[in-house]
Amino acid sequence: VECLNLRDFAIRPACVQDADAIVDILKALGQYRRLSALQPEEAIARIRRRLRPYSRGVSPSAHVAHDSAGTVVGYVTVHWLAYLFMPGPEGYVSELFVHPGVAGHGIGSRLLEEVIVEAKARSCTRLSLLNMRDRESYKRGFYAKRGWQERADAANWIYPL
Ligand SMILES: CC(C)(COP(=O)(O)OP(=O)(O)OC[C@H]1O[C@@H](n2cnc3c(N)ncnc32)[C@H](O)[C@@H]1OP(=O)(O)O)[C@@H](O)C(=O)NCCC(=O)NCCS
């Protein structure tokens, strides 16, 4: 990714036109073999379709980070979950990805800060996310250093389909 103006990066709500950049980010991270197996235009069309509800800003929501030339270099998505038993909703951070070419420039932190601002505006009780322990971000304590608390007492379950 050509990105020379990182000091001036900014955050804005995502729109469907960001699909191309999001595909680039996911491919560059190399963790999405199923997406990479698609033709580029199919992958973009799929993300565009999926982005539609996100761009309405209710739930889920998505923000992108871009440099001063408008190049999108990272994004975050949040699903806002209402519970009956909790005082306020929970924001589930479902995706946080920064292009590997610009990792370590504060973009991921800035996207997370945006989520916290939005969560407070929505009167949320808490945020949550899943971070695999073999990920670089976990090993480097990315979330722990930013005030997130690991729930040692909770088991995370999936039911594969
Ligand atoms: C984790 C991630 C979102 C951080 O964004 P970033 O813009 O690189 O992070 P910032 O510059 O704001 O903060 C720097 C911190 O990010 C982490 N980080 C930096 N480069 C990283 C990399 N290549 N991979 C993973 N984490 C990295 C470290 O914790 C670093 O702090 P440290 O230097 O004290 O170790 C980003 O690197 C990324 O998308 N990684 C790959 C995908 C991923 O693991 N996403 C999280 C899914 S839950």
Residues 9-49: tens digit of each pLDDT: 999 999 999 999 999 999 999 867 778 788 989 999 999 99
Q: What is the pLDDT of residue 30?
A: 87
Please list the residues that pair with 75 across neighbouring strands: 64, 97
Q: Reply yes or no on whether the pLDDT at 1 is more than 80.
A: no
- Say yes or no: CB of residue 59 within 6 Å of ligand 1: no
- Say yes or no: CB of residue 131 within 6 Å of ligand 1: yes
pTM assigned to the model: 0.94
The residue-averaged pLDDT of 106-128 equals 97
Q: Cα(148)–Cα(119) distance, rounded to whole angstroms?
A: 14
Q: What is the pLDDT of residue 85?
A: 96
- Say yes or no: CB of residue 135 within 6 Å of ligand 1: yes
Q: What is the pLDDT of residue 8?
A: 85
